[in-house]
Structure 1
Amino acid sequence: MKRNVGGVDRTIRVILGLAILSLLFILHGSTRFIGLIGLVPLLTAFVGFCPLYTLLGIKTCRVSSHK
């Protein structure tokens, strides 16, 4: 897996992931489990790889000049 998620993108993903994950504590009943979707942006932020970006050919990380 090559890294395709850059620094700003990762920061946004962490903030968004935590906000969505907080729904676990805000919502009631079975709808609160929608908050588990927040794990996806958190995971992609920590790993630095987004499978959807690969399919769409998007790269938000800096290109390294070293080979």
Structure 2
Amino acid sequence: MKSNVGGIDRILRIAAGLVLFALAITNVVGMWGYIVGGIVLATGVFSFCGAYTLFGLNTCPLKAAEDELAK
């Protein structure tokens, strides 16, 4: 599993996941807040997004440079 989520993207994902969890805990949003928040938080923590792989995206600058050198 290669990292494909970069610095700012990773920070925003972790923050959004935590916000969704907080909203779900306080019953502002429904159960989907736990589910979506967990997915978003996990993609930020592990620096990997399956959707990015499907669409060929990469916001990780170090890995992008390595991929270019490998070509």
TM-score in same-fold range (> 0.5): yes
Equivalent residue of 2:25, what SS? helix
Map of 1:17-36 to 2, 5 A cutoff? 17-27=17-27, 32-36=30-34
RMSD of aligned C-alpha atoms? 2.0
SS at match of 1:45: helix
* Runs of 4+ residues deviating >3 angstroms: 64-67
Unpaired runs of at least 5, structure 2: none
Q: Within the alignment, does 1:16 sit opposite 2:16 as a pair?
A: yes
Normalising to structure 1: TM-score of the pair?
0.82
Unaligned runs of 5+ in 1: none
1:1-67 pair list within 5 angstroms: 1-27=1-27, 32-36=30-34, 37-62=36-61, 63-65=64-66
Deviation at 1:43, TM superposition (A): 0.4
Q: Which digits, 9 at most, give the CA deviation of each residue in 1:5-60, with x for residues without a partner? A: 001000000111011111222217xx632221201111011111100000111100
Q: TM-score, normalised by structure 2?
A: 0.78
